[in-house]
Amino acid sequence: MKKLVFILSITLIMGACGNKKEQKENNSETTQLEGTISIDGSSTVFPITEAVAEEFRNVQPNVKVTIGVSGTGGGFQKFSRGETNLSNASRPIKDKEIAACKENNINYLELEVAYDGLAVLVNPKNTWVDSFTVEELKKIWEPAAQGKIMKWNQIRPEWPNEEIHLFGPGVASGTFDYFTEAIVGKSGSSRGDFTASEDDHVLVQGIAGDKFSLGFFGLAYYTENKDKLTLIGVHNGETVVKPTLETVRNGTYSPLSRPLFIYVNSTSVKSPEVIEFVNFYIDNAGKLSKDVGYIPLPAELYTKQKENLKAFVAKNK
């Protein structure tokens, strides 16, 4: 009995704590909205959405925003069942997913929120590489290279006759899918004999500690570790481009940069708190995506997203 009372009292205390947290800092400037917004999807987009949700709380403390990280595909699965209001996605929606949405009468709007770039990196002591072409990267990473392309001079004869040590993100990551799709041509298709880690810090350490290394990962990780690694430009068909804010934004750093999306469904935009949140998202995505290590869209593109949203809201009233 004592135990039961104890458990009950803890439950009550925790309930009380929960309420306290939600009610603080009421802001009376704008109309106070209430409700919940549930978001799921890509873990790549998560940091931006989290940042937006965090800031949104200061404006609308009574709107509960929750974000999951089921991955782009997992997110769309819930989105197409109508279980979420918004879906984070690091690629556009696929035909299969569109069909699933149709089946459940879910109409949606796609909004671009930021760019993500992939960086190709070598050790700072590497003096021979100045750039890669997409073909060279493909030659190194395609499945047929496994056990065959093992030395630097197999890629360009003037490069040293030394073993090449490859580093990349784990096969479960969106970054891996994206790289293989952009370079090899088929998502998930890669050689298997490279050092793979879900922890990008391991990759940074690996490349930084090995003169004959080569690796790739999200641009955000490079900006955090600039002093330890050398960034290599990629030939986009016309000229060699290194990923920077500029080149990712104007699309010249191709094919290793991509837009990130959020999807919103038509039933959700009937609720004022969702409209408010998505507007807030687009207004702040530029600054916040930079904060968390991504690259903002040009201002005019954000304006365009807002117009699209406005039209979508009007259409689904």
Partner 1 sequence: MNSIQKNRLKDQLFKYWGIACTLIGLVLLVLFIGDILIDGISRIDWAFITDLPSRKAEKSGIYTALMGSIWILLLTTIIAVPVGVAAGVYLEEYSKKNRLSAILEINISNLAGVPSIIYGLLGLEVFVRIMSLGASVLAGALTLSLLILPIIIVATREAVKAVPKSIRDASYALGASKWQTIWYQLLPASGGGILTGVILALSRAVGETAPLIVVGALAYVPFAPSNPLDEFSVLPIQIFNWISRPQHGFIENAAAAIIILLLITFVMNGIAVYFRNKWQKKWK
Residues that bind partner 1 (CB under 8 A): 7, 10-11, 14-15, 17-19, 21-22, 38, 40, 43, 46-47, 49-51, 53-54, 57, 64-70, 78, 198-201, 218, 220-221, 223-224, 288, 291-293
Minimal distance, residue 176 CB to partner 1, in Å: 13
Minimal distance, residue 17 CB to partner 1, in Å: 6
User: Is 165 within 8 Å of 212 (Cβ atoms)?
Assistant: yes
- The residue among 134 and 219 lying less far from partner 1, judged by its C-beta, is 219
Q: How far apart are CA 302 and CA 295, in angstroms?
A: 13
- The residue among 225 and 305 lying less far from partner 1, judged by its C-beta, is 225
Ramachandran region, residue 218 (left: φ > 0; alpha: ψ -120 to 50; beta: rest): beta
Q: How far apart are CA 154 and CA 118, in angstroms?
A: 24
Q: How far apart are CA 218 and CA 120, in angstroms?
A: 9
Minimal distance, residue 89 CB to partner 1, in Å: 16
- The residue among 106 and 288 lying less far from partner 1, judged by its C-beta, is 288
- The residue among 212 and 280 lying less far from partner 1, judged by its C-beta, is 280
- The residue among 145 and 248 lying less far from partner 1, judged by its C-beta, is 248
SS3 state at 87: strand
- The residue among 47 and 286 lying less far from partner 1, judged by its C-beta, is 47
Instruction: Quote the tokens at residue 100.
Output: 């699933």
Which CA distances in Å does 148 have to 55, 122, 156, 226, 249? 51, 20, 14, 31, 36
Minimal distance, residue 67 CB to partner 1, in Å: 4
Minimal distance, residue 312 CB to partner 1, in Å: 25
Minimal distance, residue 181 CB to partner 1, in Å: 20
Minimal distance, residue 237 CB to partner 1, in Å: 29
Q: How far apart are CA 217 and CA 201, in angstroms?
A: 10
- The residue among 44 and 254 lying less far from partner 1, judged by its C-beta, is 44
Q: Which residues pair with 231 in a beta bridge?
A: 121
Instruction: Quote the tokens at residue 302.
Output: 């954000």
Q: Given CA atoms 90, 94, 98, 99 in this order, what sign does their dihedral have?
A: negative
Q: How far apart are CA 259 and CA 90, in angstroms?
A: 7
